[in-house]
Amino acid sequence: MSFVLRADASRWRAHQQSVVDAVTRASGTAPVPVIKGNGYGFGPGVLSAEASRLDSDTVAVGTIFEVDDVAAGTTGDIVVLEPFQPLDAVAADAWWQLGEKLHAGRVIRTVASVDALRALAAGPGSVRVILEAHTSMHRFGFSESELLEALADEDIRAAMERGRVLVEGLAVHMPIAQPADDVPPPGVRDGSAKAREVMRWAGLWQTKTAVWPGHNAPANTIWVSHLDDDELAVVRSSLGEAVLRLRTGTRLWLGDREALKAIGTVLAVHPLVSGTHVGYRQRSGPKQGTLVVVSGGTSHGVGLAGPSPAASIRQRVTTAGIGALDAAGRAMSPFTWQGKQRWFAEPPHQHVSMVWLPHECVLPQLGDEMTADVRFTTSRFDAVLLDT
C-alpha cells in the first residue's frame, strides 16, 4: 500500500547541474540549495545528499527545527530562512539547544528586526547572522531606516567588533511576481522591477559597509531569492566586488517535472452495477462504472491543496468551476488512467483513494500503477525511488 515518488535520476541530476551552471554564469557564484519543509517531496535526507553531490558550500532550511536533519547529510554552512524571534519561546529554546551541538558553528540565522539583533548582541558566545531587508514582499525585514539604525547602534556595533555578532550579509527576499508599486528612478531603464529593488538595497548595504571602521565588518554579500538568470546578471553587473548568492529550491529540485512521477498502486478493482452505493458516504457512481481503490490518501497529501492565487480571469473561472463541482459532491482526483484524470468516488481516505472509471475503460489489474498529478511541496511519499 505504497505511494511513491519515482525520479529518473540521470535526467533529474542533469537538470540540477544545468541550474547550477546557469546561476553560476549569471551571478558569479553557485546557488544555495533550499531544503525546507517536506524536502519538496523528496525529504531532507535525499536532498542533503544531492546538495553534497553538487559540492554546495551552503544550504538553506526553513526553520531551526529542520537544521539537525540537514546537518547530518551536509558539511557546509546552513542558513535558517525564518527570522530569529526571541519572543517565540519554543523556537528560542530550540536555538538555545543548538549551541550544544557540534554543527552549531555552521548555522547562520536570519534576523529581521532591531530588537532581535539587540537581543543577540546582549547574549554570550558568538552567532552568525544575515540581516533581512523589508522588500515588496512585506513579510519580514528591516526598513531602510531600521537597517541604518541597527548599523549605527553602539551596542550592536560593539557586539560586532568583539565577534559576538558576525554579519554574513543582507538578504533581499523578493516576490515571485514583479512588484506592482515599483517606480523606476529617473533615467533608469535597465532591469526588471525586482532587479531594481535588489540593486537599491545592495547600494545601501555597500555604502554603509564600505566605510565600516574596526573589526568584523559586515560581509559584502547579497543573498537573494526569486530572480531569474537575466535579473541575476543585471544585479551582478551593478555590484562591483560584492558576492551575489541566489537561494533556490523549486527551480533546482522540481524544475523538470517530466523527470518526476508520483505513483499509486491499484489495490482493488470492483465493476459495479448502476446505482451501487460505495464508500464511507455511500455515494453512487456512473452507469456501469468500475470502482478502483488506489494507494495514496490524505496522509500523503492527496486531495490537499493550497488556496489558488487566481490572478487572471481564466484562473478565477476555473476556481469557481471547481468550487461548484465540490459543492455538488464531485471532485477530480489527481490520479490518471489511460491518459485522463479520473473522478474521486468520495474524498480520499487517510491512506487510499477510491476513484471511478467509466465502463468503456480498459480495467487495471491489481498491482498496476496510476500516476498522480500532485503538489510535491505538500506531498509525503512512502518511498523515493531514484531510477538509474
Q: Which residue, 99, 105, 106, 96, is CA-closest to 74?
A: 106
Domains of the chain with CATH codes? 31-254 (3.20.20.10), 260-387 (2.40.37.10)
CA gap 250, 260 in Å, rounded:
13
Q: What is the pLDDT of residue 190?
A: 67
DSSP secondary structure string for all residues of 364-376:
P-TT-EEEE---G
Q: What is the pLDDT of residues 54-97, one digit of tens each?
A: 999 999 999 999 999 999 999 999 999 999 999 999 999 999 99
Q: What is the pLDDT of residue 388?
A: 79
Asked if residue 342 lies in contact with residue 362, where contact means CB atoms within 8 angstroms, the answer is: no
Classified as helix, coil or strand, 154 is: helix
The pTM is what?
0.91
DSSP letter assigned to residue 344 = B
Cβ contacts of 372 within 8 Å, gap of 6 or more: 3, 262, 263, 264, 296, 302, 333, 334, 335, 336
CA gap 365, 382 in Å, rounded:
21
DSSP alpha helices (H): ranges in the chain?
Answer: 9-27, 44-53, 67-71, 89-98, 114-121, 144-152, 154-161, 193-209, 229-238, 250-254, 313-327
- 77 forms beta bridges with 58
CA gap 334, 353 in Å, rounded:
10
Q: What does residue 83 show for φ and ψ, rounded to 5 degrees?
A: -60, 140
What is the residue type of 289? G
Q: How far is CA 116 from CA 40, 296, 342, in A?
A: 30, 43, 51
Q: What is the pLDDT of residue 312?
A: 52
Where the chain has pLDDT below 50, the residues are 313, 315-329
Classified as helix, coil or strand, 20 is: helix
Q: What is the pLDDT of residue 141?
A: 98
148: left (phi over 0), alpha (psi -120 to 50) or beta: alpha
Asked if residue 253 lies in contact with residue 220, where contact means CB atoms within 8 angstroms, the answer is: no
Q: What is the pLDDT of residue 185?
A: 57
Asked if residue 41 lies in contact with residue 379, where contact means CB atoms within 8 angstroms, the answer is: yes
**For residue 189, how many other CB atoms are within 10 A of its CB?**
7
